[in-house]
């Protein structure tokens, strides 16, 4: 088990071809946000589980499987990982396993990593692909051999995925729940379907059933994230630049099986083998427990795996403690406790189901339950801590209470009597912005000088991935898990009912769906207000209430509703005209066709002729701003002039008689009063249209005189054009 | 006395998939290895220890079937029940027989032949089933090089999609491939209950079912189900997953409106006895691992599917292809298929003067075969007359066939009472009953039937 371990396991290598060096690729970055914000300062691969960094478990396991060469791929915190490897025994001269660190700062996903590997051409033969957060006691060689055997039968076999069987009720099924359809005879994977919480049915294509005599649907598998890959895998990633995650790869390969001519196989772990990866706090808790309960033997706390630490004593009730631990009088370690070296625990403190790191100091009368405390943590007297993760270097004053999944990032200092509950994250200082992921926004609440509460302001922009909606939740396994699930469920329902509000923040370009969304219709919003929060015993009751409400409603309500609808149609019509003109300009369409198009939209939305005139002019005036981004008056006029060259026939088609000219001027006035750019060039604009014979002087004068004296904007506009008006007047 | 099982042999069909040879006679009497087809399932039941069987036949066929059964010497009590309506489905028939059904019932089709023992199936039923038990066979290896007589037809059998729990053999999914467009939905709940499901698309349903007594009562209540395989089986399989309490609530709410009888739902029928439930509650037994639910997840309706081991033989004879295949194979399978009934290759009353007849031929009673004939791999029924200079190869001759001098037949099926006149040459033909083939006629890959007989059908 110790340093001597790997030397003794030469046997299996001989069964492989001599020239083969068993390669493994370890991706030491999850590229996920589950452990944010703790991973802003600690790489996911170096998070300690039962006082040992995850990466050490991964490397040990590979070494025990006689892997000779490890390519460790890191992107964020590469220096920390490098240091870690440098200090580990893998940098020793006696090491049987060569660990090469490859750093790619720009790498954002597994796909990028594989493409990078392909570019660097470091893969020589079949290799083992694992993530740096793997905890496993499996022997990988049989899987490698299985993969080679499969490859002899099926040349296209590129990847063998390793799964562990566990019933649907197993606690480790928290993340990555998936259904696998495999050919029962060959073990080929036919479909891999992620199961989402809401799905009641699982649909798989018919052909997978028809083509194989016997297809196994497996719902009981835990994805270990261990895979054996052919050298063809990195090039496949390079060829398909849209493959980001391993799931993308699997999905892409299954869908395009014929095109890519690649197949996937699965391998079921034996019952006594353990393999999982720590992908979330829940998994963290579950894996810690498994390690303490010795499921991952030989990886148990008391095994002398880790060369520079003193051995643990394994005591009754799964209590593990190192020699230098000092326990005060009346101190109780109930069960499932791990305490590392140089930690001192003072009198009458109770610790149960917890892991405590090195050099910690825990005060008197403290109660710690189901919590994970990393190195160098100081906990004051009378603290009560349950379901919490406290990262290294934190300090808790006296009487601090933490419960229900608190996560404390490194170096947090909590003053005395702080009481934190639920999934609150506390990070020290202002989070260093540069390492921020753009797609997440946090709000920081100051709790104390070196403690800030972190709240996620906005869920991930791509809300497809439901798991990522609450990346910041802490532990909370066992009894509280159910509660939380309920919460999240009700949360998603809220989201649904808020669908209307979501679409409010629509883009500046009018969005059809926004205007037509039924929930937006005035009656429904009113009805929603009226019905909000009430409960009904039966359908009948509900029907009755709604009917009486509808009857009581004043007739005006309906009128305004219909009027609003007209308004909405107008908006829609305007957006259609805009679309037509924009396209017409970009594709240089003939004005006659555009006129046809506009006229047909007019009938579709039942808009009167005068309104058409108004909207067409308005649209023409908006165009320079929309598509040419004219932000200053001279540029605007210039662009408008250019546009007019193309669109003059349209203008002339609509602005014919004096009524139409009035509409046109009205549109110009409206635009001018709302847009500064237009306002500045109003005189020139009207003059231009006058020059082009679109507007006649009578109508300009008429418009000038008709102005609403009371409205300040109208009069100011008129002041502007007064000179022009006088000129015109004189001409007459 | 109420026995554990009652058996029903469904022989009401007309053999609509092989009308060429079943025209004008009950399908269940066409001979296989010189025994009427229905003898095989009856023999199977008798071997299993079933004492009584109900044989369902069409009214007009009763006498013919009776006549065919008499000389067979079966010990099992065969009660022939006739049905009048031609359009009755199998479930309708079962409903019609409900008065006679006092216990769990085995329903078997008259065209079913297997070399499997029924005991493992009955045991699975006894242990777990509360609903229906179905029997499936892996695709049988068949010799594709052999030509089937008659015109070439592309026969596409309907394919089923069957899902069985890998460990418990629970039947969790049934459907026909043609029911689905491009995707097959499976309920998530089923996947949760049965973590590993084997989906089969190439196995065949043997049309052998064991129903609990309550299913028959339920059929009486639910009138709109008319077939067993197409409607009742999918219905029961689907109902396994539904929960009772939901329906209960609805029923309570509507008590006043609906009268007692119609509001009964399937779960009222599917109740298990108080003692059974009690025993299950006390027992540590569980049919599944990995979650904390009670045995069978508390399902009261439980359907099972028994997939026969791949080396076992099982077939339904409902097409010409099957019929020819089984006749070719019957000599080799006789021992296993019949459970050790003595194999009579050549009946003692047959009068055979031919010297060129090989060992693979079977000959029925009172058949005469003249000298200078060559007969290879043929099955020849009773009361046939084969004159001299006749050459037969790979032929199936039913009863009372007369083959005149100089005929050459190869790979033909010749039905009852056919007369083939001098020097006819037939290859790969089907000859319908009582037909007379004129002298010197030459036919290849044809169906030769008396026209007006076909018209009747």
The answer to whether residues A239 and A226 touch, using CB atoms and an 8 Å cutoff, is: no
pLDDT of A585 > 90? The answer is: no
pLDDT of A723 > 80? The answer is: no
CB contact under 8 A, A205 and B292: no
Question: pLDDT tens, B164-216?
Answer: 988 889 999 998 888 888 888 888 888 888 888 999 988 888 889 999 999 99
Give the residue ranges of DSSP H helices in B23-164.
39-48, 62-69, 90-96, 119-127
pLDDT for position B121: 92
When pLDDT is averaged across residues B22-40 and rounded to a whole number, the result is 86
DSSP string, A95-118: -SSEEEEEE-TT--SHHHHHHHHH
- Cα–Cα distances (Å) from A339 to A51, A53, A365, in that order, read 9, 15, 17
Establish if B359 touches chain A: CB-CB under 8 angstroms: no
Residue with tokens 């049905």: B83
- Cα–Cα distances (Å) from B237 to B120, B234, B355, in that order, read 21, 5, 58
CA distance A223 to A161: 8
The conformation of residue A46, written as its DSSP 8-state character, comes to G
pLDDT-based confidence at A511, cuts 50/70/90?
A: very low
Establish if B166 touches chain A: CB-CB under 8 angstroms: yes
pLDDT of A325 > 60? The answer is: yes
CB contact under 8 A, B177 and A206: yes
Interface of A with B (CB under 8 A): 166-170, 179, 181, 184, 195, 199-207, 209-210, 212-220
For residue B181, which residues of chain A lie inside 8 Å, CB to CB?
Answer: 206
When pLDDT is averaged across residues A681-686 and rounded to a whole number, the result is 79
Question: pLDDT tens, B360-392?
Answer: 888 988 899 888 888 888 899 889 999 888 998
pLDDT for position A361: 92
Q: What is the ipTM of this complex?
A: 0.82
The alpha-carbon gap from B312 to the nearest alpha carbon of chain A, in Å, equals 17
pLDDT-based confidence at A520, cuts 50/70/90?
A: very low
Provide the 3-class DSSP secondary structure of residue B235. Answer: helix
pLDDT for position A475: 45
Read off the tokens for A547.
Answer: 């009917």
pLDDT-based confidence at B72, cuts 50/70/90?
A: confident
pLDDT of B292 > 50? The answer is: yes
Residue with tokens 């194979």: B329
pLDDT-based confidence at B456, cuts 50/70/90?
A: very low
CA distance A656 to A695: 9
Establish if B176 touches chain A: CB-CB under 8 angstroms: no
For residue B139, which residues of chain A lie inside 8 Å, CB to CB?
Answer: 213
| Higher pLDDT pick, A198 / A583 | A583
For residue B197, which residues of chain A lie inside 8 Å, CB to CB?
Answer: 216-217, 219
B431-442: buried (b, 16+ CB within 10 Å) or exposed (e) per residue? Answer: bbbbbebeeebe
- Cα–Cα distances (Å) from A43 to A27, A28, A78, A344, B78, in that order, read 12, 8, 8, 28, 80
CA distance A224 to B75: 61
Nearest to B143 by CA among B266, B282, B322: B322
pLDDT for position A502: 32
Nearest CA in chain B to A168: B192
The percent of residues above 70 in pLDDT, for chain A, comes to 78
When pLDDT is averaged across residues A639-649 and rounded to a whole number, the result is 80
pLDDT-based confidence at B154, cuts 50/70/90?
A: low
Among the residue ranges A27-31, A174-178, A254-258, B23-27, the one predicted with the least confidence is A174-178
Among the residue ranges A9-23, A206-220, B48-62, B297-311, the one predicted with the least confidence is A9-23
The alpha-carbon gap from B227 to the nearest alpha carbon of chain A, in Å, equals 25
Residues whose CB is less than 8 angstroms from the CB of residue B164 and which lie 6 or more positions away in sequence, other chains included:
B170, B171, B172, B197, B198, B200, B305, B307
pLDDT of B130 > 70? The answer is: yes
- Cα–Cα distances (Å) from B306 to A30, A114, B125, B134, B311, in that order, read 46, 47, 10, 6, 14
DSSP string, B355-407: SEE-TT-EE-TT-EE-SS-EEES-EE-TT-EE-TT-EEES-EE-TT-EE-TT-
Provide the sign of the torsion angle of the four alpha carbons A477, A480, A482, A483, taken in this order. Answer: negative
Read off the tokens for A708.
Answer: 């609403």
Top mean pLDDT of A292-296, A571-575, A607-611 is at A292-296
The percent of residues above 90 in pLDDT, for chain B, comes to 13
pLDDT for position A508: 31
The alpha-carbon gap from B250 to the nearest alpha carbon of chain A, in Å, equals 12
CA distance B168 to B303: 11
Among the residue ranges A250-264, A532-546, B41-55, the one predicted with the least confidence is A532-546
Q: Select the residue from A180, A220, A478, A538 to test the B interface by mutation, using most B Cβ atoms within 10 A.
A: A220
Mean pLDDT of the residues in chain A:
76
C-alpha neighbours within 13 Å on the C-beta side of residue A726 = 4
When pLDDT is averaged across residues A58-67 and rounded to a whole number, the result is 88
Q: Which of A201, A204, A215 sits opposite B188 (nearest CB)?
A: A201
Among the residue ranges A11-25, A503-517, A648-662, the one predicted with the least confidence is A503-517
When pLDDT is averaged across residues A646-661 and rounded to a whole number, the result is 82
CB contact under 8 A, B183 and A203: yes
CA distance B314 to B117: 11
CA distance A581 to A565: 24
pLDDT of A501 > 70? The answer is: no
DSSP string, B56-77: EEEGGGHHHHHHHHGGG---SE
| Higher pLDDT pick, A635 / B403 | B403
In three state form, how does the secondary structure of A258-284 look? HHHCCEEEEEECCCCCCEEECCCHHHH
Nearest CA in chain A to B200: A214
pLDDT of B275 > 80? The answer is: yes
pLDDT for position A429: 56
pLDDT-based confidence at B136, cuts 50/70/90?
A: very high
The answer to whether residues A401 and A388 touch, using CB atoms and an 8 Å cutoff, is: no
Among the residue ranges A214-223, A555-564, A607-616, B165-174, the one predicted with the least confidence is A555-564
pLDDT-based confidence at A494, cuts 50/70/90?
A: very low
Nearest to B33 by CA among B389, B410, B313, B335: B335
Mean pLDDT of the residues in chain B:
84
pLDDT for position A465: 34
Beta bridge partners of A354: A337
- Cα–Cα distances (Å) from B46 to A366, B4, B55, B135, in that order, read 78, 14, 13, 18
The alpha-carbon gap from B452 to the nearest alpha carbon of chain A, in Å, equals 42
pLDDT for position B108: 93
The percent of residues above 70 in pLDDT, for chain B, comes to 91
The answer to whether residues A306 and A56 touch, using CB atoms and an 8 Å cutoff, is: yes
pLDDT of A177 > 80? The answer is: no
pLDDT for position A337: 92
pLDDT of A564 > 90? The answer is: no
Question: pLDDT tens, A467-490?
Answer: 333 333 444 433 333 333 333 333
The answer to whether residues B246 and B187 touch, using CB atoms and an 8 Å cutoff, is: no
Rg (CA), chain A: 35
pLDDT-based confidence at B119, cuts 50/70/90?
A: very high
Under 8 Å CB pairs connecting chains A and B tally to 95
When pLDDT is averaged across residues A558-586 and rounded to a whole number, the result is 78
Q: Which of A199, A202, A213 sits opposite B201 (nearest CB)?
A: A213
pLDDT of A17 > 60? The answer is: no
CA distance B117 to B365: 30
Nearest to A50 by CA among A351, A291, A347, A318: A291
The percent of residues above 90 in pLDDT, for chain A, comes to 7
């Amino acid at each position: 088990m110790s340093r001597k371990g790997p030397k003794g396991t030469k046997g299996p290598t001989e069964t492989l071809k001599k020239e083969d060096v068993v390669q493994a690729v370890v991706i030491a970055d999850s590229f996920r946000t589950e452990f944010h914000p703790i991973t802003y300062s600690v790489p996911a691969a170096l998070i300690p589980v039962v006082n040992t960094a995850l990466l050490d478990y991964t490397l040990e396991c590979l070494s025990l499987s006689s892997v000779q060469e490890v390519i460790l791929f890191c992107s964020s915190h590469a220096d920390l990982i490098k240091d870690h490897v440098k200090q580990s025994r893998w940098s020793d001269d006696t090491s049987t396993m060569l660990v090469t660190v490859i750093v790619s700062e720009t790498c954002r996903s597994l796909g990028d990593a594989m493409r990078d590997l392909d570019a660097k051409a470091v893969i020589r033969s079949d290799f083992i692909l694992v993530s740096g957060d793997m905890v496993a006691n499996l022997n990988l060689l049989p899987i490698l051999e299985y993969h080679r055997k499969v490859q002899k039968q099926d040349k296209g076999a590129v990847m063998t995925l390793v799964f562990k069987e566990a019933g649907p009720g197993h606690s480790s099924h928290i993340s990555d729940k998936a259904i696998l359809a495999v050919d029962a005879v060959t073990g080929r994977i036919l479909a891999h379907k992620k199961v989402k919480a809401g799905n009641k049915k699982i649909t798989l294509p018919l052909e997978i059933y028809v083509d194989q005599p016997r297809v196994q649907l497996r719902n009981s598998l835990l994805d270990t994230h261990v895979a054996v890959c052919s050298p063809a895998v990195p090039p496949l990633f390079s060829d398909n630049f849209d493959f980001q995650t391993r799931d993308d790869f699997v999905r892409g390969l299954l869908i395009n099986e014929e095109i890519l001519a690649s197949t996937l196989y699965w391998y079921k772990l034996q019952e006594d083998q353990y393999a999982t990866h720590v992908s979330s706090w829940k998994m963290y808790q579950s894996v810690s427990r498994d390690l303490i309960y010795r499921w991952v033997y030989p990886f148990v706390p008391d095994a002398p795996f880790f060369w520079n630490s003193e051995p643990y004593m394994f005591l009754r009730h799964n209590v593990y403690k190192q020699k230098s631990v000092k326990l005060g009088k009346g101190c109780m370690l109930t069960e499932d406790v791990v305490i590392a070296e140089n930690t001192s625990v003072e009198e009458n403190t109770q610790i149960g189901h917890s892991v405590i790191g090195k050099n910690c100091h825990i005060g008197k009368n403290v109660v710690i339950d189901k919590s994970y405390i990393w190195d160098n943590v100081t906990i004051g007297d009378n603290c009560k801590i349950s379901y919490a993760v406290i990262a290294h270097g934190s300090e808790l004053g006296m009487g601090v209470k933490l419960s229900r999944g608190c996560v404390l990032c490194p170096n947090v200092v909590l003053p005395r009597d702080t009481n934190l509950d639920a999934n609150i994250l506390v990070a020290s200082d202002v989070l260093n912005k540069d390492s921020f992921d753009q797609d997440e926004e946090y709000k920081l609440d100051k709790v104390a000088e070196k403690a800030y509460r972190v709240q996620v302001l906005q869920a991930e922009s791509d809300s497809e991935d439901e798991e990522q909606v609450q990346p910041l939740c802490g532990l909370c396994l066992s009894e509280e898990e159910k509660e939380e699930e309920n919460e999240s469920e009700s949360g998603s329902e809220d989201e649904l009912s808020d669908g209307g509000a979501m679409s409010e923040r629509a883009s500046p370009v009018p969005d059809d769906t926004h205007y037509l969304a039924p929930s937006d219709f005035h009656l429904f919003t009113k009805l929603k207000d009226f019905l909000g929060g009430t409960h009904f015993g039966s359908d009948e009751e509900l029907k009755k209430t709604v009917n009486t409400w509808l009857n009581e409603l004043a007739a005006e309500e309906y009128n305004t509703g219909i009027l609003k609808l007209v308004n909405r149609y107008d908006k829609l019509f305007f957006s259609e005209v805009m679309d037509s003109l924009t396209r017409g300009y970009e594709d240089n369409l003939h004005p006659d066709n555009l006129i046809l198009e506009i006229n047909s939209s007019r009938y579709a939305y039942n808009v009167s002729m005068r309104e058409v005139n108004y909207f067409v002019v308005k649209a023409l005036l908006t165009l320079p701003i929309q598509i040419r981004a004219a932000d200053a008056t001279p540029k605007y006029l210039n662009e408008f002039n250019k546009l007019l060259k193309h669109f003059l026939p349209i203008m002339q088609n609509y602005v014919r008689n004096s009524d139409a000219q009035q509409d046109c001027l009205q549109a110009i006035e409206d635009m001018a009063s709302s847009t500064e750019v237009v306002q500045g060039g109003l005189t020139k604009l009207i003059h231009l249209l006058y020059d082009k014979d679109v507007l006649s002087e009578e109508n300009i004068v008429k418009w000038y005189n008709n102005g609403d004296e009371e409205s300040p904007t109208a009069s100011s506009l008129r002041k502007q054009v007064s000179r022009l008006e006088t000129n015109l007047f004189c001409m007459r | 006395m109420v026995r554990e099982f009652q058996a029903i042999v469904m022989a009401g069909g007309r053999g609509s998939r092989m009308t060429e040879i079943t025209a004008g006679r009950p399908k269940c009497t066409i001979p296989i290895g010189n025994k009427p087809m229905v003898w095989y399932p009856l023999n199977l039941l008798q071997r299993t220890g079933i004492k009584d069987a109900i044989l369902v036949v069409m009214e007009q066929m009763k006498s013919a079937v009776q006549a065919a059964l008499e000389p067979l010497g079966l010990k099992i009590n065969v009660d022939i029940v006739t049905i009048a309506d031609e359009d009755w489905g199998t479930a309708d028939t079962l409903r019609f027989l409900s008065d006679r059904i006092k216990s769990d019932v085995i329903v078997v089709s008259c065209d079913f032949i297997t070399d499997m023992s029924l005991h493992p199936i009955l045991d699975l039923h006894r242990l777990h089933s509360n609903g229906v038990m179905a029997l499936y066979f892996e695709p049988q290896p068949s010799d594709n090089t052999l030509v089937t007589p008659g015109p070439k037809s592309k026969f596409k059998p309907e394919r089923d999609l069957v899902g069985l729990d890998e460990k418990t053999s629970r039947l969790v999914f049934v459907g026909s491939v043609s029911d689905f467009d491009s995707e097959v939905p499976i309920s998530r709940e089923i996947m949760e209950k049965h973590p590993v499901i084997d989906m089969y698309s190439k196995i065949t349903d043997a049309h052998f079912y064991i129903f609990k007594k309550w299913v028959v009562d339920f059929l009486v209540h639910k009138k709109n189900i008319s077939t067993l395989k197409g409607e009742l089986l999918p219905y029961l399989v689907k109902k396994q997953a539904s929960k009772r309490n939901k329906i209960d609530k609805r029923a309570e709410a509507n008590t006043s409106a609906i009268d007692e009888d119609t509001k009964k739902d399937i779960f009222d029928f599917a109740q298990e006895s108080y003692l059974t439930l009690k025993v299950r509650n006390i027992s540590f037994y569980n049919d599944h691992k990995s979650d904390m639910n009670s045995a069978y997840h508390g399902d009261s309706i439980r359907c099972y599917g028994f997939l026969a081991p791949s080396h076992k033989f099982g077939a339904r004879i409902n097409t010409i292809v099957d019929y020819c295949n089984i006749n070719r194979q019957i000599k080799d399978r006789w021992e296993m298929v019949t459970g050790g009934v003595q194999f009579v290759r050549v009946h003692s009353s047959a009068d055979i003067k031919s010297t060129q007849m090989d060992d693979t031929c079977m000959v029925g009673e009172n058949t005469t075969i003249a000298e200078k004939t060559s007969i290879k791999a043929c099955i020849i029924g009773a009361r046939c007359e084969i004159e001299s200079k006749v050459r037969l190869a790979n032929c199936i001759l039913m009863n009372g066939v007369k083959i005149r001098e100089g005929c050459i037949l190869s790979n033909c099926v010749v039905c009852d009472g056919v007369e083939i006149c001098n020097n006819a040459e037939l290859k790969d033909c089907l000859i319908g009953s009582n037909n007379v083939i004129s002298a010197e006629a030459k036919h290849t890959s044809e169906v030769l039937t008396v026209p007006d007989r076909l018209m009747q059908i």
